[in-house]
Structure 1
């Protein structure tokens, strides 16, 4: 009462509006660190431009209003998504960009000049952050780091990460709404698979970013897309040969294993590999062109005579499902490919349309996947 009388209601309103009376917010991030800051945060640096995939869910009315800096990877790694956002929100082109922790090009002075309340980093960047001492250096200038994860353990960490960011943004209810949708859509696959314990699981090889390099063949171990396959009722071929999340499987091993299904992750990587053999799936992509490039990849020696190629059970899917809150869509599409008889009523495209209608500020555009056998697209 004394404070109100002394300052007056209008002064208190001014203090609240300027953040002087902001409530402290404490989160435990995905790295297990307790971070306390004033919230909700209003000025955010994104450790990756592709983190707009979660920011757009929580701030779908104005997805860039908190973003004061970001990495320049969205434009290069997911140019179709960048174009869709830029068309509706041209101000994104003016957001300052900065270098990375891993390559040592991050500029602390630039970060300080942006006056951020928080910097949100992906968990996989923590090792480089620790090695360079960035966490301590940023703390000294009042910039806390919060780690989230959509890549290393997406099905455990995606709901946790969304809840963390929701608390930082003051959008807890919105994060909970998304997490409920996420869990319900995952259950449409996992509950069906669990109900068939004797299910025959097709051996599936996932080629990571096929055609991005001339080498063959990058893949996933037990995590990420490897886990997507297992949840969708398949057997991930590379799990026996890759102990971690990422690695390579020899072409001879692919032939010897003879996978029943092949899935290639793809995207438009013209910025990185101009004219490359990569399969350009993604929002608004040319599906016929993507299918032709997918067929060309199957002409490589690693896939000579394998069962999946002979039967046309070869597919390409948007690579960015691997590092976004939208991974449940990929699990649904994989389940549809691996067990069409069990998932006849499941429509992953309808799920993706609902995701856009309920949570995203941009319109849905088809093109996130293709199959050599066009019947598999239905």
Structure 2
């Protein structure tokens, strides 16, 4: 009888005990195998924009942060997240990795179990060895989805494994892939003549013209994906570079898209974001379009000029920006796509709270073109 009682007690104890935290392992963007004895729960983000991806994986992302590079987080999105995550401002700011404001010792002193190193900062093998010698795992991961990758959310998926949030990562990957596949299917057979010329200008302002997206990996990839032809990609091999007004006028883009945010207000640039009104956003776009020569562009004359949050385009939820761009380039093909509906669904299903504000805007056609 005593043996039976002890056996039952042991079975109950085993059943009620918390599950062991199993070892997790990935191969990161640098081809390094990263293995943790248990999912990470105290991490450092060297690129603050990675916080948006972290928020897709956990409803309380700030509790997972040992520290982050806050300056690299889009200010408009940071303000939006503060509303639902008031403790976010308590997370230590490590500053810019490699700069005087953020030493290797500072990151080690935070005692994280994982440092997520953006590929942009993957320049020092010695620094990685020093962190690993201190018992800190380092994973080189790009957390912003890229339409050049398969899956597009490869970095986020790997982070999901390291955090023990695989199911959430897989759900978001499926969400993004479904929407990207729809866009690809509808434009794949478009002849070149049906792919409008697009000027995609980063950080649009009155001060100069024009820092355009090029052929390098980045947000300029969205134009080709959505069935457009980037006039910048034809002459700029890098992610972005300058275009002259003369070149732009010669190309006569049929669609104009500028990026910006509240950070552009002081430069008379495109202003969109969490605390911007429709009227303010529209006025800022009109200001950008008032630059010398822009009134001659077909895109401006015909009401196909638009403004988009730069932070949205480089974030973990850039599928919203991609859908907006697709609808602007091919309104006939994508009349059933509403990026606001997608943003709302992401807020409801994946983020701690919906993102409010004005993240894009459009200008009407010129009076003489109506």
TM-score, L = length of structure 1:
0.86
Report 1:134-145 matches (<5 A): 134-145=127-138
Counterpart in 1 of 2:63?
A: 65
- The separation in 1 between residues aligned to 2:90 and 2:77, in whole angstroms, is 17
**1:54 maps to 2:53:** yes
- Does structure 1 retain, via aligned residues, the 8 Å contact 2:198–2:257? yes
The correspondence for 2:257, drawn from 254, 263, 266, is 263
Residue segments in structure 1 that go unaligned for 5+ positions in a row:
none
The correspondence for 2:197, drawn from 203, 211, 214, is 203
Q: CA deviation at 1:22?
A: 4.3
1:257-280 CA-partner distances (Å, limit 9, x unpaired) = 1111110011111xxx66222212
Counterpart in 1 of 2:3?
A: none
Residue segments in structure 2 that go unaligned for 5+ positions in a row:
1-6
- The separation in 1 between residues aligned to 2:185 and 2:193, in whole angstroms, is 13
Counterpart in 2 of 1:331?
A: 322
Q: CA deviation at 1:103?
A: 3.4
Q: 1:15 to 1:115 in 2, by over 3 A?
A: farther
Instruction: Give the aligned length.
Output: 356
- The separation in 1 between residues aligned to 2:12 and 2:87, in whole angstroms, is 33
Report 1:293-308 matches (<5 A): 293-301=284-292, 303-308=294-299
- The separation in 2 between residues aligned to 1:373 and 1:366, in whole angstroms, is 21
Counterpart in 1 of 2:92?
A: 96
Report 1:148-163 matches (<5 A): 148-150=141-143, 153-156=146-149, 158-163=152-157
- Does structure 2 retain, via aligned residues, the 8 Å contact 1:268–1:281? yes
Structure whose alpha-carbon radius of gyration is higher: 2
Q: Displaced runs of 4+ in structure 1, greater than 3 A?
A: 8-17, 102-105, 150-155, 195-199
**1:23 maps to 2:22:** yes
Give the secondary structure class of the aligned counterpart of 1:120. Answer: strand
Q: CA deviation at 1:49?
A: 2.2
Which stretch shifts more, 328-337 or 282-291? Answer: 282-291
- The separation in 2 between residues aligned to 1:11 and 1:110, in whole angstroms, is 42
Give the secondary structure class of the aligned counterpart of 1:27. Answer: strand
- Does structure 1 retain, via aligned residues, the 8 Å contact 2:57–2:169? yes
Q: CA deviation at 1:301?
A: 2.8
Q: CA RMSD in A?
A: 2.8
Q: 1:137 to 1:159 in 2, by over 3 A?
A: same
